[in-house]
Structure 1
Amino acid sequence: MSPVLALGTAAALLVLATVIGIVLRRRDGRRRDGGALYFDPVDAAAGELGSRATLVQFSTEMCARCPQVRRLLDAYAADSDGLRHVEVDLTHRPDLSARYKVLQTPTTFVVDRSGAVRARFRGVPHRHALTEALAAV
């Protein structure tokens, strides 16, 4: 392989990796539709949902960003009546990641009082997107 071809291939791979990284970073923390998922409160240690809505955080023990999300969601729950925050540790319940289609941690669901997932966030939720999702419940 010629040095020019090798250098061109390396540059193309670098550009491709950069574009993929930028796309993934821009999608992180944005609100997505909850689909037809229903959250079963038995899957959380708390066992019950909030009277208005529940913020369900899926995390693992080795997750670096999960404590940041925990503090954010705890603050939201403390400031709002009828809003509850529960955390599900997927380290001890890996079966739930398949059931709820959780591919990364942290993942946050906004669940209404009937258990329907109204919105989901991958990564650290953007504050304004979380506020909009809660207003829609």
Structure 2
Amino acid sequence: MDLLPALAIGVALVAVTTVAGLAWRAAQGRAVRGSGERVRPSELGLAADGFGTRATLLQFSTEFCSRCPAAARLLGAIADDEAGTRHVEVDLTHRADLAARFRISQTPTMLLLDADGAVRARIGGAPRAELVRARLDDILGRNHVGIH
């Protein structure tokens, strides 16, 4: 193979890989609208009162997830600040059935459930506090008008 075509192919591969990596990174920690499907505590092996009375921050993790402990601390702190809100962490390491059921392709993944257990938002990757709080405010019926 000639040097010039080989060099062009190499540069093109680096460019495509860089763009794909930047797109993937930008999608991490972003909230998307929830499916509205209902989740029951019993599906996760929890007691009937395992969810919050107003909202639940449902985190899916694995044993080998390096970002999951920090996500759990963040979500736990947010839930502690809101009456009727609970943080629930589910380890998918030995529960492939749950990973398939909830279409989890990365950990951490968080589902924000309303009082009825309906999925209102989904965040793949490490969650950002301000985003989780904003989505939680939506569920709890609070509006924030910022002063700029």
Q: Normalization by structure 2: what TM-score?
A: 0.88
Percent identical pairs in the alignment equals 45
Tell me the equivalent position of 1:24: 24
Tell me the equivalent position of 2:60: 58
**Contact in 2 for aligned 1:37/1:100 (Cα 8 Å):** no
Unaligned runs of 5+ residues in structure 2 are 140-148
Distance 2:60 2:39 in 1: 12
Distance 1:39 1:68 in 2: 24
Distance 2:103 2:9 in 1: 36
Greater shift in the superposed pair: 43-52 or 118-127: 43-52
**Matched position secondary structure for 1:136:** helix
Distance 2:37 2:103 in 1: 9
Tell me the equivalent position of 1:122: 124
**Matched position secondary structure for 1:108:** strand
In the alignment, is residue 5 of structure 1 matched against residue 8 of structure 2? no
Letter in 2 for 1:24: W
Greater shift in the superposed pair: 41-50 or 2-11: 41-50
Aligned residues: 137
**Contact in 2 for aligned 1:43/1:88 (Cα 8 Å):** no
Unaligned runs of 5+ residues in structure 1 are none
Distance 1:13 1:108 in 2: 33
Letter in 2 for 1:15: A
Q: How does 1:1-137 map to 2 (within 5 A)?
A: 1-47=1-47, 48-137=50-139
**Contact in 2 for aligned 1:46/1:86 (Cα 8 Å):** no
Displacement of 1:36: 3.5
Q: Structure 1 pair 45/76, CA: closer, same or farther in 2 (3 Å)?
A: farther
**CA-to-partner distance for each residue in 1:25-76, whole Å, 9 max, x for gaps?**
1110011011132222113344321010000000000011001100101111
**Contact in 2 for aligned 1:66/1:106 (Cα 8 Å):** yes
Distance 2:134 2:22 in 1: 24
